[in-house]
Amino acid sequence: MAEVELRRISKMYGGQKVVNEVSARILPGEFFVLVGPSGCGKSTTLRMIAGLEEISTGELLIGGKPMNQVPPSGRNISMVFQNYALYPHLTVKDNILFGLQVRKVDKAEQGKRLERVAEMLGIAHLLQRKPKELSGGQRQRVALGRAIVSQHPICLMDEPLSNLDAKLRGHMRTEIRRLQQELGITMIYVTHDQVEAMTMADRMMVLRDGEVQQVGKPLDVYNHPANLFVAEFTGAPPMNTVPAIWRAGDQAGIEVAGQHFLPLPMFHGSKDQTPVVLGLRPESLQPALEGQSVDASCQFPVTVQGVEILGSETIVEFTVGDKLWKAKWNGQWHCKRGETMHVHFDPAQVNVFDGETGKNLAVTTN
């Protein structure tokens, strides 16, 4: 069983807590992504799981067994490092076989596994080369090969794609995902790139300053961000937000920048005049075309500040309150700067966050 369980795991450096009581249960065969901005403690968490970093408090269980005191090699884990950690003086073949040689695996078995891995990753023709004779993508494959050849049920990856160019990164994303599914490995993957998290993960954990912000399936996290931080971290461009005020009374709703009033019947409990933050995804804001019948309260005029036409989609910028918002529209929209347009949105896609704590007022989980 390759289940990994983190029970209130913390890491202290001196007096500073860099990881604060992180808990998670990662199921066998799951692709679990730790995501967050740099310095959020995601790599430290991963290194604690690997055993490269001591766990200050909390408990780590792998396959139900406590692992806090077990050295890295006893945890049944393989790891892919950010800079691949290939031995520069060894050939690709020796790099891949290093672990097996150390563990004195039978020679014939070594050969068999090497052949399979080389074929799986398409690196059979590179086996006699040294790492410096390889391209970035090839090195990445060798590092993957080294992790796979050990046949450990759990694999950890620490930002493995950050050294590759954008195109190759997209390619490797699918490849890593494919390998993980084919081999049925439990994968714990660290990245700062929310796109990687969204596209690869079965479940993702968003971290900030060592604290868990949200754990869940990528789409759940995207559609129902637990707080303002998660909302602004996910999505490209991220969620648009603007400070607003909650108005209770006969007609409850939100007042934005003292001008626009949006009736929202679904929130309860908030007092009149509570400061809140209104959030809307860029793709939730669509152009209101003439002749289209939309509720007037879900529509507002904007002055275009900037336009980015990306071919298949167009990003239109405008200000709401004192914030710059972006809307993402399909197709090519030739808007001009200074032009006034009407945009509308579906009230069901509105997110409202607490003005002080940043908590999503609609999400009642956790």
Partner 1 sequence: MGELRAKWKVNMYAWLLLLPSLIFLLLFTFYPVIQTFILSFHQADLGSPEPFFNGIDNYKQMVEDEVFWKVLTNNIWFAIGTVPTSVALALGMALFANKALRGKSFIRTAYFYPTVVPMIAVANIWLFIYTPEYGALSHVMEWFGKGDMNWLGDQKNVMWAMIFMVIWKEAGYFMIFYLAGLQNISQELYESASMEGASSWTVFRRITFPLLMPTTMFVSIIAFTNSFKLVDHLVIMTKGGPDNASNLLLYYIYETAFSFWDQGMASALTIVMVVLLLLVAAFQFFGMDKKIHYN
Positions touching partner 1 (CB under 8 A) are 50-52, 71-74, 77-79, 81-85, 87-90, 98-99, 102-103, 130, 132, 146, 150
Amino acid at 60: L
Question: Residue 154 or residue 245: which is nearer to partner 1 going by CB?
Answer: 154
As measured in angstroms, the least distance from the Cβ of 98 to partner 1 is 6
Question: Residue 144 or residue 327: which is nearer to partner 1 going by CB?
Answer: 144
User: Which candidate, 69, 61, 71, places its Cα nearest to that of 24?
Assistant: 61
Q: What is the token pair recorded at 209?
A: 């300053």
> How far apart are the C-alpha atoms of 354 and 344, rounded to whole Å?
23
User: Which candidate, 163, 91, 355, places its Cα nearest to that of 242?
Assistant: 355
As measured in angstroms, the least distance from the Cβ of 124 to partner 1 is 23
Give the CB-side neighbour count of residue 16, counting CA atoms within 13 A.
Answer: 7
Dihedral over Cα of 265, 269, 275, 279: its sign = negative
> How far apart are the C-alpha atoms of 257 and 244, rounded to whole Å?
6
Question: Residue 113 or residue 326: which is nearer to partner 1 going by CB?
Answer: 113
User: Which candidate, 160, 218, 212, places its Cα nearest to that of 190?
Assistant: 160
Question: Residue 100 or residue 352: which is nearer to partner 1 going by CB?
Answer: 100
> How far apart are the C-alpha atoms of 355 and 289, rounded to whole Å?
33
As measured in angstroms, the least distance from the Cβ of 152 to partner 1 is 9
As measured in angstroms, the least distance from the Cβ of 59 to partner 1 is 21
As measured in angstroms, the least distance from the Cβ of 344 to partner 1 is 52
Question: Residue 129 or residue 342: which is nearer to partner 1 going by CB?
Answer: 129
